Homo-oligomer: A and B are copies of this chain.
Amino acid sequence: MPSPQRADRVEEPGRSARKRAAILSAATDVFLKGGYLGTNVDAIAAGSGVSKQTVYKHFGSKEVLFVEIVASMTSTAGDMVVGETSEPDDSTDLAKYLRAYAETQLTVVLTPRLMQLRRLVIGEVSRFPDLAKVLYERGPQRAMTRLTAVFERLATRGLLTVADPSIAASHFNWLIMADPLNRAMLLGDKAIPSPDALRRHVAEAVRVFLAAYATRPAPTRQVKAARRSRRPSGT
């Protein structure tokens, strides 16, 4: 949020913002393609149609620019994972809600660009530990914090039984994310599942999660039989 003081100091703020956006966009492409070490500021300047000096004026250094891109791409993805389905009031729609939640999260995260960003950041952990920390906090940590709040509310409504909502959030997050994420990390973009495969994967993961956390699991056949035998006929 630019303060009035800041706006006074910046000439032609609209033009400056456009240049900044052009640099960010070009830099993202160049970094994702060449990696951190393989990228030089000349290529970013050329790609965004500004001078090298302008790149430095806006971002100070190649490192600052890289941090900005990681923070911005990860946050944008996180912003997109907003519960599109409203939280259910009873257990009827619980599985459906969790499946929709999971499908949204997976679809937003499992893109070639975000996978490549993640590979790049992981490859640079020893050189730039803070960068990976930014990605962790704005990526998986943020997703699990949001899930923790969802599961607290669902537990309050009696739909889930959770001793520790943050552990339940971690279980849910990794039941849905881990397999496709790990495959995409190592096997490349062709391992990103198709929408159909993703739906099947999510359905199985949600089944496991609800077996452990749903307050009312589906009665087993034995219990049903026991109930029937105790039930007066005709009701």
Contact = CB atoms under 8 A, between A and B. Distances in A.
Contacts of A204: 167, 171
A140 interface: yes
A205 interface: yes
A232 to B, nearest CB: 16
Interface string A195-230: 000000000110111011100010010010010001
Contacts of A220: 217
A124 interface: yes
Q: How many copies of this kind of chain does the complex include?
A: 2
B212 A125 contact: no
A127 to B, nearest CB: 9
Interface in A149-185: 167, 170-171, 174-175, 177-179, 182-183, 185
A49 interface: no
Contacts of A35: 123, 126
Interface stretch (A53-61, A75-83, A97-105, A131-139): A131-139
A37 B123 CA distance: 11
Nearest to A207: B212
B122 A126 contact: no
A217 B183 CA distance: 32
Given A119-B123, A135-B186, 20 more contacts: A37-B37, A122-B122, A123-B123, A125-B185, A132-B186, A133-B187, A136-B187, A140-B182, A170-B179, A171-B205, A175-B175, A178-B178, A178-B182, A208-B209, A208-B213, A211-B211, A211-B212, A212-B212, A223-B226, A226-B230
13 contacts: A119-B122, A119-B123, A133-B186, A140-B186, A171-B208, A174-B175, A174-B178, A175-B175, A211-B212, A217-B217, A217-B220, A226-B226, A226-B230
